[in-house]
Amino acid sequence: MNDEQKIELRELINKDIEELKKTIDLLKETVKPVAPDNAIGRLTRMEAINSKSISEATLLSAKNKLGKLKITLENIDRPEFGICSGCDEPIPFGRLKVLPESKMCVKCIDG
pTM (predicted TM-score)? 0.82
Is 57 contained in some domain?
yes
Whether residue 39 is predicted with pLDDT greater than 60 in this model: the reply is no
| CB distance 60 to 85 below 8 Å | no
Is 18 contained in some domain?
yes
Domain that holds residue 29: 3-78
Number of domains in the chain: 1
Is 93 contained in some domain?
no
| CB distance 43 to 52 below 8 Å | no
Is 50 contained in some domain?
yes
Mean pLDDT, the chain, whole residue set: 90
Is 66 contained in some domain?
yes
pLDDT of amino acid 102 = 95
Q: How confident is the model at residue 76 (pLDDT cuts 50, 70, 90)?
A: very high
Whether residue 98 is predicted with pLDDT greater than 70 in this model: the reply is yes
